[in-house]
Each structure stands twice: as structure tokens, then as C-alpha cells.
């Protein structure tokens, strides 16, 4: 038997561990990003992510819990992390954009669930944290979405293809 509050704590804990993994992922992306604008977006989002983790930790503490760094949460971003950390071959710009976009959407999904579980547990503060964090992930996903053309171009250049121009551009 388990209570909704116990499940809520588990969700907050997983979100916290997820953000810790995302921080490592962002570090690697900042390191490998050659586009100044994207580098700046990533740095800003790293700062936001640190604040997100602090907010989650505060909610864990409100439930007399502390981060356990659960294995499942490592698994959530694990596959994506692997892609980012394995930068032996080129195409960093494209892979960073792809994996970054996927990660932001995974985070958005986690916060959509967390917000609802928090409401069911009557924990408005955690619901609010989930909402605030989600809005930041959505903004970051949007920034990545605006850079697809540039990411594709940089990717091709990294792979040694020169002088390509898109047939159409958006």
C-alpha cells in the first residue's frame, strides 16, 4: 500500500535526479557547442536548471525527504546522456539540438505529471514549482526549435560538407 503523498515524494525525487543529470548534459553541450548564440542559451538554461533543482529540493524537504538520486531517474535521461557524451564522431551541433530538444520534452512530460500528482496530493506549492519549471523547459525547447536550420548547416560543416544551402528556409 502506498499513499498519494508517498508517490508525490517519489515524483519530486525523480525530477530532482533528472535535473542533476540534465546539468551534466548541459555542461557537455556547452563544452561542445560552437555556435555562440546556442552556447549562450545553454548557459542561461544551466542557470535556470540549477534553480529548478533548488525548488525541487525545497519541496522534498517540505515532505521531510531528501534527494536519493534514484536509479530510475538516471535511466530516464540515460540514453540521451549517452548520445551527448559519446561525441567521438562529428555532427555535434545537430546531435546537441536533437538530444537537447528531446530532453526538454522529456522534462516537460515529467513536470506535467508532477503537477497533476501534486494537485491530487493537495500540494499546491509543488504543483506551482512543476509549472514554473515546465515553462522554462518549454522556452528552452522553443529556442532549440528556432535553430534547426543552423544546426543542420553546422552539422554538415562539421562532417566536412561545404557550401550547402537549404532548398527552402523557414
Under rule CB under 5 A, residue 49 binds Fe ion:
yes
Choice between 52 and 126, CB closer to Fe ion:
52
Residue range at the interface with Fe ion (CB under 5 A); choices 30-38, 44-52, 141-149, 151-159:
44-52
CA-based nearest residue to 17, from 64, 48, 56, 46: 56
CA 122 – CA 82 distance, rounded (Å):
37
**In contact, 17 and 69? CB cutoff 8 Å:** yes
Under rule CB under 5 A, residue 104 binds Fe ion:
no
Q: Which of 107, 115, 123, 153 binds Fe ion (CB under 5 A)?
A: 107
User: How many Å separate Cα 65 from the centre of its chain?
Assistant: 23
Count the Cβ atoms, other than its own, within 10 Å of residue 149: 12
Residue range at the interface with Fe ion (CB under 5 A); choices 36-44, 45-53, 142-150, 162-170:
45-53
Choice between 20 and 33, CB closer to Fe ion:
20
Choice between 52 and 147, CB closer to Fe ion:
52
Residue range at the interface with Fe ion (CB under 5 A); choices 34-42, 51-59, 110-118, 161-169:
51-59
Q: DSSP of 114-164, one letter per residue?
A: HHHHHHHTT-HHHHHHHHHHHHHHHHHHHHHHTTHHHHHHHHHHHTT--S-
Choice between 52 and 155, CB closer to Fe ion:
52
Site residues (vs Fe ion, CB under 5 A): 49, 52, 107
Amino acid at each position: 500500500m502506498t499513499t498519494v503523498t508517498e508517490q508525490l515524494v517519489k515524483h519530486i525525487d525523480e525530477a530532482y535526479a533528472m535535473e542533476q543529470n540534465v546539468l551534466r548534459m548541459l555542461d557537455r553541450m556547452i563544452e561542445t557547442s560552437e555556435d555562440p548564440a546556442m552556447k549562450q542559451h545553454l548557459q542561461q538554461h544551466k542557470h535556470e536548471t540549477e534553480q529548478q533543482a533548488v525548488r525541487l529540493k525545497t519541496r522534498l524537504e517540505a515532505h521531510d525527504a531528501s534527494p536519493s538520486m534514484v536509479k530510475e531517474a538516471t535511466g530516464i535521461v540515460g540514453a540521451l546522456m549517452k548520445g551527448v557524451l559519446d561525441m567521438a564522431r562529428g555532427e555535434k551541433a545537430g546531435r546537441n539540438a536533437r538530444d537537447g530538444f528531446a530532453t526538454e520534452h522529456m522534462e516537460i512530460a515529467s513536470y506535467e505529471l508532477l503537477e497533476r500528482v501534486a494537485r491530487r496530493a493537495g500540494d499546491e506549492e509543488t504543483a506551482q514549482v512543476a509549472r514554473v519549471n515546465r515553462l522554462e523547459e518549454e522556452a528552452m525547447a522553443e529556442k532549440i526549435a528556432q535553430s534547426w536550420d543552423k544546426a543542420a548547416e553546422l552539422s554538415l560543416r562539421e562532417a566536412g560538407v561545404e557550401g550547402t544551402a537549404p532548398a527552402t528556409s523557414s
